[in-house]
Amino acid sequence: MIKLIWKQFSKQVISSKQFLVHRNNQQEIQDYFRQLKIQSAQQRKNFENIAHQLLSKEQDKFKSYIFYLEISNDVTLKTLLQEIFTKTFLQLNDFRNKQLAIEKWQLIPLDFIEDYMKGFNIKPSEIQDVQIKILTLLQNKKPLQAMKLIFIFKEQLNMTLFIDKFIQLDAVQDFSKICITSPDLLKDFLIKLTQSDKRHHQKFATELIRKYNLKKDDYPQLIKIQNRQAIDRIYFPKIEEPYERVEERLEGYPDMLHHVIDKLLEHNKINEAYSIAIRQGLNDHYKLKGELLENPLLKYDGFGITEQICYKQDPSEYIQFSDFNINEEDIQIIDSVDKLLLIKDNILNSQITGFDTEFCHYFDEFAVGGVAIMQISTETNIYIIDIYNLREEQELLKFLNNYFASDKIKIGHSVWNDFTVMAQNMNLDQSVEPCNIVDLTFLYNEVFPENKNNVSLANQVYQLFGKKLSKKECFSNWQRRPLRKCQLYYGAMDAYICTALYLKLKQLKQLDIDKLPQMMQQHQTQNKQKKVLQIQKGQHLRYDVQFQQIIDDKKNMKFLVDCMLKKLASFLRNLGIDTEYNEKNDHYNLEQQAITEQRIIITRDKKLYEKPQLKAPCLLLSDNLNTEQQFDEMQKELQFQIDQNKILSRCVKCNFDHVIYISSKEAEKYLDFKNVKIHNQYQNDSFTQIKVFFQCEKCLQIYWEGNQFKNSIQRFTKVAQNKDD
């Protein structure tokens, strides 16, 4: 049949010596077009020859070309036929009728618009109704085609008209490519993005603001959203965080306190919401009534541990300054340059000092927390330096550079992170190498090598002094001024206890203390040398040492699964674990994604794993394992944690971590009943009786609490429990 059609077409149309573009044979040609089936490269080539013969023998090739575009507009192979006729016409170089070409531009396939305009020497300003054409394409949900026109006619378009449409179509990444060429357009685009209720739009706006170093203050709505999302994530996953700690942390931030009150009311915590509203002067907005609950963190304060002063607990089980004969008078607050000048020599001349820092904690994703206070302890005095207010003072920078560069012993816990943050935030002299720094983690391992996995400051205090170290103020509001006395006590203790632990360890084991800084220096040098080396654990896990933090972060470990392990990716996502799936069999692409997104590659590809230049963390799984066995092997090698509260919280289709409740009416709009599997599942669950539906905000995938959902909950909860056992 197909051969017959081609033969008829060739005989009756191609071979004709008469002009074929008459109205009386238009229907005949269109019928041929409708019957055509171009299913192979050879058939395409045959039709290209036909198109060339049809156009080349016409005197006015452009009119003939437009005729074939128009009659092919209503056939199945429209796109392919118009592409072939357009390519053929452009090759014939008949660009005489410019005026008609301008009038007919909307018929031209968008991929060829630029060549078409170039051939006829048409300037973008000569083309009319481009804006309407673009809006029509967007209305028909064709953002990529719209972008082709936007790039060509960008100089004459009002781009702001398109912003809402691209956001609605979730084509923000495409539209951003044109926005970055205009600061004003980019700002308008970002403002609209921040007003979107889709979380991935807000994340993309954040990425653009960071990438182009824009002022975050120009986007207050985004900051507000990020603050509220952080509050929900940190304090309200299960309303287990004591409300008084939330209020203390957010005092002075009325917008965030409003959100806290709203969340408390949402969870029927009426008295807690009322109490915050009254204390913070916000009840004019809410008009709440209830029982006024006290906030011990704001009501009580004094020189002592928070557990005793605020919560009236027995302090005897905690380490305190009275254990070392240190009084309140021995602690000084250094909040001016004059005070700093008075005490700096006492610190710089002390043979041994302990130090620690407390950080500013912010909620938006742009803020750099930085150091709020630095505590430095001698054997008899503790100085709390107000870095937050003195960070711009040259005398402070000079003192800190001298302090870290001095040959005196300085003791801290996990000190290199503190020093790095301080150096970045305060413009410390990067050329000055910190000298004679003793990290208690290193020292403790030298004395107790058997306890290498138990080196936290609190654990060291408990083992060496038999008492707990209060950590109640760890995440309190260190930006507030004045600081509460309980905060000052906590901060001073963290610095002084470093000195006390150092002396205690010295007593327990006769270490050559004078050589300890040199040992530390050698240890640091060895670590630097390892930067160019690969760490390999067993036969299956390897990574560059610069990615050690990814391997150590058991709670927030993220994975990148290659094209061999798609089922494993779904399995991990069901467990609530952040897992991307890369379907391309491209080693370079896979590694770059892992490095950029800080993920561990999971693969069965031995060639990838054995590449000498591979730097990204990579775990090689054994062959011939089912999905659960693969998971067990991952868990054995990496020892990552599973949060049971996150089971089935992540989209299995796209890995997005925000799945929302929707109504059954809304759910049915998105369900694809052409898919037999989904339709059967729909019927089996007696769908009309199901009340709980979920939808991924990013890819719009629908989930519901049916039989499969219940089975999955049981299955993955059991997996998580077995892992914990």
Are 378 and 352 spatial neighbours (Cβ–Cβ below 8 Å)?
yes
Q: Which of 375, 335, 682 is nearest to 499 (CA)?
A: 375
Tokens of 208: 């653009």
Q: What is the Cα–Cα distance from 199 to 376, expressed in whole angstroms?
A: 43
The confidence band for 452, taking pLDDT boundaries of 50, 70 and 90, is low
Are 166 and 138 spatial neighbours (Cβ–Cβ below 8 Å)?
yes
What integer is the mean pLDDT of 250-264?
Answer: 92
Q: What angle do CA 694, 700, 703 make, to 5 degrees?
A: 30
What integer is the mean pLDDT of 578-589?
Answer: 85
Are 356 and 418 spatial neighbours (Cβ–Cβ below 8 Å)?
yes
Q: What is the Cα–Cα distance from 476 to 637, expressed in whole angstroms?
A: 36
Q: What is the Cα–Cα distance from 618 to 614, expressed in whole angstroms?
A: 8
pLDDT of residue 210: 84
What integer is the mean pLDDT of 243-253?
Answer: 89
Task: Please say whether the dihedral angle defined by the alpha carbons of residues 434, 437, 439 and 442, taken in this order, is positive or negative.
Answer: positive
What integer is the mean pLDDT of 684-707?
Answer: 74
Q: What is the Cα–Cα distance from 673 to 691, expressed in whole angstroms?
A: 19
Tokens of 85: 């006729």
SS3 call for 273: helix
* pLDDT tens column, 484-510: 999 999 999 999 999 999 998 887 766
pLDDT of residue 431: 63
SS3 call for 62: helix
Are 409 and 467 spatial neighbours (Cβ–Cβ below 8 Å)?
no
pLDDT for 7 beyond 60: no
| Strand 702-704 with 693-696, pairing | antiparallel
What integer is the mean pLDDT of 217-239?
Answer: 82
- pLDDT greater at residue 632 or residue 676: 632
pLDDT of residue 13: 47
What integer is the mean pLDDT of 75-100?
Answer: 90
Q: What is the Cα–Cα distance from 399 to 385, expressed in whole angstroms?
A: 11
CATH class, 535-641 region: alpha beta
pLDDT for 725 beyond 70: no
Contacts of 594 (CB under 8 A, 6+ apart): 560, 600, 601, 616, 617, 618
Q: What is the Cα–Cα distance from 619 to 637, expressed in whole angstroms?
A: 8
In whole angstroms, how large is the CA radius of gyration of the chain?
Answer: 35
Q: In this structure, how many other beta carbons lie within 10 angstroms of the beta carbon of residue 685?
A: 17
Contacts of 17 (CB under 8 A, 6+ apart): none
pLDDT of residue 207: 86
Are 707 and 657 spatial neighbours (Cβ–Cβ below 8 Å)?
no
pLDDT for 85 beyond 80: yes
The confidence band for 468, taking pLDDT boundaries of 50, 70 and 90, is very high
pLDDT of residue 261: 94
pLDDT of residue 132: 93
- For residue 105, the 8-state DSSP code is G
pLDDT of residue 589: 79
SS3 call for 282: coil
Q: What is the Cα–Cα distance from 657 to 567, expressed in whole angstroms?
A: 18
SS3 call for 581: strand
**Least confident stretch, 78-87, 555-564, 637-646:** 637-646
- For residue 468, the 8-state DSSP code is B
Q: What is the Cα–Cα distance from 487 to 256, expressed in whole angstroms?
A: 22
pLDDT of residue 17: 35
Percent share of the chain, pLDDT over 70: 86
- pLDDT greater at residue 418 or residue 65: 65
What integer is the mean pLDDT of 674-692?
Answer: 55
What φ, ψ does residue 542 adopt, rounded to 5°? -145, 150
Q: What is the Cα–Cα distance from 181 to 177, expressed in whole angstroms?
A: 8
pLDDT for 358 beyond 60: yes
The structural domains of the chain, with segments of one domain joined by +, span: 2-126, 130-214, 223-297, 306-526, 535-641, 659-724
Q: Mean pLDDT of all residues in the chain?
A: 84
- For residue 592, the 8-state DSSP code is H
* pLDDT tens column, 284-334: 999 999 999 999 999 999 999 999 999 999 999 999 999 999 999 999 999
Percent share of the chain, pLDDT over 90: 44
Are 216 and 623 spatial neighbours (Cβ–Cβ below 8 Å)?
no
**Least confident stretch, 29-38, 102-111, 413-422, 610-619:** 413-422
- pLDDT greater at residue 402 or residue 3: 402
Residue 334, judged by CB atoms within 10 A of its CB (0-12, 13-18, 19+), counts as buried
Q: What is the Cα–Cα distance from 477 to 685, expressed in whole angstroms?
A: 50
CATH number assigned to the domain covering 306-526: 3.30.420.10
What integer is the mean pLDDT of 696-711?
Answer: 81
pLDDT for 684 beyond 90: no
What integer is the mean pLDDT of 377-401?
Answer: 93
The confidence band for 340, taking pLDDT boundaries of 50, 70 and 90, is very high
pLDDT for 5 beyond 60: no
What integer is the mean pLDDT of 527-535?
Answer: 50
Q: What is the DSSP string of 159-214?
A: THHHHHHHHHTT-HHHHHHHHTT-HHHHHHHHHHHHH-S-HHHHHHHHHHHHHTT-
pLDDT for 426 beyond 80: no
Tokens of 534: 């690969």
**Least confident stretch, 303-307, 487-491, 537-541, 718-722:** 537-541
pLDDT of residue 3: 43
Task: Please say whether the dihedral angle defined by the alpha carbons of residues 451, 453, 457 and 459, taken in this order, is positive or negative.
Answer: negative
pLDDT for 679 beyond 80: no
What φ, ψ does residue 386 adopt, rounded to 5°? -80, 80
pLDDT for 405 beyond 70: yes
pLDDT for 19 beyond 60: no
HSE-CB for 77 with a 13 A CA cutoff: 19
- pLDDT greater at residue 358 or residue 666: 358
The confidence band for 21, taking pLDDT boundaries of 50, 70 and 90, is very low
pLDDT of residue 424: 63
